[in-house]
Amino acid sequence: MPIDWFGRSAFTLLVVFLGLISGCQSSEMVKPMALRPGDTIAFVAPAGELDKVRIERATGRLEAMGFNVVIPANLYRQTGYLAGTDQERADELMRAFLDPEVNAIFPGTGGYGTTRMLDLLDYDLIRKNPKVFIGFSDITGLHIALHEKSGLVTFHSPNPMWGLGSEGEWNPFARDYFWRALLADAYTTNEPYVIDADERVEYPITTVRGGKARGVIVGGNLSLVQAVTGTDYQLDTRGKILYLEDIGEAPYRVDRMLRQLKASGQLDEIAGAILGRFTRRRSEDTSDETTTMEEVLDEYFAPLGVPVIRDFPAGHVSDNATLPMGVVVELDADAQTVTVLERPIRLADERKVQTGTRSTREIARDSRTRRQIIRSQP
C-alpha cells in the first residue's frame, strides 16, 4: 500500500538532523545511495498536474519490485496549469529531501513550473541529504539547479507517468537502462557501462562529427537550458559533454534557442555534444520547412570541432535511456555510444564517505529550517 505522507509524525522530520550528511568540497559532486528493494520512493509534483491512473500504475509496478511508495495526500492538486502554487510544490520537494525514510524522489511528470520554484529551495540542505532524483522534460530545470547549486548527481530518465506508469509494457530499452543506473545490484563491480543503441531503438543515431571525448555530462531539455541562461542557474558547460533534446518545437524555434546558447558562450568550450531526437514538431507535415531540424542542429554543432551525435535515444521518446547527470562519461561519436565511466551512486559500504562532524550552529540552523517547512504542511 502507498504510505500516507502526511500521516507521519512531525517528530520524524525534526530528528532528521541527527543524520545529516555534510557537504564535500564545492567542486565535488555528491552522489546518492543506490536503491534496493525495501527502500522508500517519494512521488512529488513539482511541475504539471498528475494523472492518477498512471501514477497508480507506476505505484503498483514499484511495489511489485519490493519498494515502498510515498504518496502525498494532495499530490493531485491543481492550480491552473501547475500542480499547486510555487510554494506548495517547493515545500513538497523539500519535505521529500529532508525525510530520513525517503531514499529516492520521483517527480510524477514534467510539463511546466520548475523554473518558477528554483529560488524557493534550500540547496545547502539538499546537498546534505542526497537522494536519487529522476525525471526529464521540465524537470531539467531542477536537474540544472541541483547540479549548479547543490552539486548533486541526478538522473535524466523516464518518470512515473511516462515510463513506469505507461499503459502496456514499459519500453524494455528504457526500463533496462533506468534500473541499470539506479539499482545497487547493478554495480557488482566498479566497471564502466555502455549505453548502446541496440536493435530495440526505433531510430538510428547519426554521427555529426566523429571522435571521442570525455567530460561531465550536463544538460537536458533545450527549452529549459535556454530558460535559465542569463540567470544564476545558468549551466557551466566548459569542458562538459552537453546533452540536449526537445519536443514540439519547429526548426526556427530551436534555431533561436541555440542562438542564445551560442551568444552566451555555452557552446564555446564544450568537450562534445549528445543530441536527442527533437520529436513531435509543430506539425507532422514538414513539406513547407525551408530548413530542416537536422540542418539547424548541424549548423550549430558541426563547426565546433568536437565529437557530436544526434538522434540519441533519450528524452521525449519511448526508448528513453537514463543518463546520470553530473558524472564523467565518454562519448564515442564513431561507435555512437555513451559510456558511463564514473559510478553515479554510492553503495551501502560507502555511507560514511561523505559524513562529517557538524557544528552546533549548523545543526540548530537546519533544525529551524525543518520546523518552518513542517509548519507549512497542509
Catalytic residues: 137, 245, 316
Task: Give the span between the Cα atoms of 345 and 30, in whole angstroms.
Answer: 9
Cell of 341: 565511466
- From residue 235, how far is each of 239, 318, 345 by CA, in Å? 12, 27, 22
Q: How distant is the alpha carbon of residue 251 from its chain centre?
A: 25
Exposed / middle / buried, residue 169 (Cβ in 10 Å: 0-12, 13-18, 19+): exposed
Exposed / middle / buried, residue 173 (Cβ in 10 Å: 0-12, 13-18, 19+): buried
Cβ atoms of residues 180 and 343 within 8 Å: no
User: Which own/partner pairs from 349-355 qualify as long-range (CB within 8 Å, at least 24 positions apart)?
Assistant: 351/33, 354/21, 354/22, 354/23, 354/24, 354/30, 354/31, 354/130, 355/21, 355/22
